[in-house]
Amino acid sequence: MQILTGFVLAALIAFVAYRAHSLTRSGAFAAVVVGGVIFGMGGWQWAILLLAFFISSSALTRAFKKRKAGLDEKYAKGGRRDAGQVFGNGGLATVFAGLHFFYPDAQWIWVAFAACLAAVNADTWATELGVLSPRPPRMVTNPAREVEKGTSGGVSLIGTLAALGGAALIGVLAAALGGPASAPQPAAWMVGVAVTLAGLLGSLFDSLLGGTVQAIYHCPACNKETERHPLHTCGTTTTLKRGWPWLDNDFVNLGCAIFGVVVALILV
Ligand SMILES: [Zn+2]
């Protein structure tokens, strides 16, 4: 019954998000799967963490749409999230919610779930709020080098503080909502600190991948670096500049979530 309710609620939210242009059609179907499993097999505490990520990141994308308008050509996709983005951001968290259904007493599953969402939330907040930085970002692999805003692998102080805020939101909720209540388990504050730190480090790992092995393209017409492929926003075919061709932004987000989980589990 809870699973059915979960899918109905997820479908309602996905429909609203689709109508509000936060999700594409494929993104809305993916959100029903992700939301349905997390609501239905996890429970309301798990749903609250997912909603905190989904609502805060969609709101930030919307709020800073104008400021990011000139940067749209750099990012792999526009403001509407498609299935690849939904699974890249929420796929691993969905797996942990499913695991919880079979191992309801395992506290580490809650920590791992929260760490996934903390990492992708931190990364989204950093991307959306980083554009407010008055100074150009610097490459995470070479801090002496300033790069254009929106460049994969670029980091700024404001972006990093935003990542900390995004991670802390999930960390505080993870500590407050606790997850499965069984002894022995780490104290709530430890869960909060571990999840927050995991989120921050996960988003920095995301930048590291963006600055090294993520597929980055070049538009010969605009002479600009971009994540877009095969076509740039101007319509020209982009060519691979660096990185592994298969490692697109969605896989980088998954890598960010995996790294966050590893950090959180080591800490707890
Ligand atoms: Zn172009």
Q: Per residue in 174-194, pLDDT tens?
A: 999 985 555 456 788 999 999
User: Are the C-beta atoms of 150 and 128 separated by less than 8 Å?
Assistant: no
pTM of the model: 0.93
Mean pLDDT computed over every residue of the chain: 92
- Supply φ then ψ for residue 146, to 5 degrees: -85, 140
Q: For residue 231, how far is its CA from the centre of ligand 1 (angstroms)?
A: 8
Residue 183's pLDDT is what? 47
For a pLDDT cut of 70, what percent of the chain falls above it? 97
Of the pLDDT bands very low, low, confident and very high (cuts 50, 70, 90), residue 1 is confident
Q: What pLDDT, in 10s, does the model give residues 23-77?
A: 999 999 999 999 999 999 999 999 999 999 999 998 998 888 777 777 888 888 8
Q: How far is the CA of 228 from the centre of ligand 1 (A)?
A: 9
| Structure tokens that stand for 37 in this block | 């499993």
- DSSP string computed for the chain: -HHHHHHHHHHHHHHHHHHTTSB-HHHHHHHHHHHHHIIIII-HHHHHHHHHHHHHHHHHHHHTHHHHGGGTTTSSS-SSB-HHHHHHHHHHHHHHHHHHHH-TT-HHHHHHHHHHHHHHHHHHHHHHHHTT-SS--EETTEEEEE--TT-TTEE-HHHHHHHHHHHHHHHHHHHHH--S--SS---HHHHHHHHHHHHHHHHHHHHHHHHTTS-EEEETTTTEEES--SB-TTSPBPEEEES-TT--HHHHHHHHHHHHHHHHHHH-
Share of the chain above pLDDT 90, in %: 82
- Provide the pLDDT for residue 17: 94
- The Å distance, Cα 69 to ligand 1 centre, comes to 15
Confidence of residue 228 (pLDDT cuts 50, 70, 90): very high
Give 236 Cα–ligand 1 centroid separation in angstroms. Answer: 6
* Spacing, Cα 225 to ligand 1 middle (Å): 9
pLDDT value at position 179?
57
pLDDT per residue as tens digits for the range 121-135: 999 999 999 988 999
* pLDDT band at 247; cut points 50, 70, 90: very high
> Would you say 246 and 215 are in contact if contact means Cβ atoms under 8 Å apart?
yes
* Least confident span in 60-69, 202-211, 232-241: 60-69
Cα(152) to centroid of ligand 1, in Å?
17
In one letter, which amino acid is 33? V
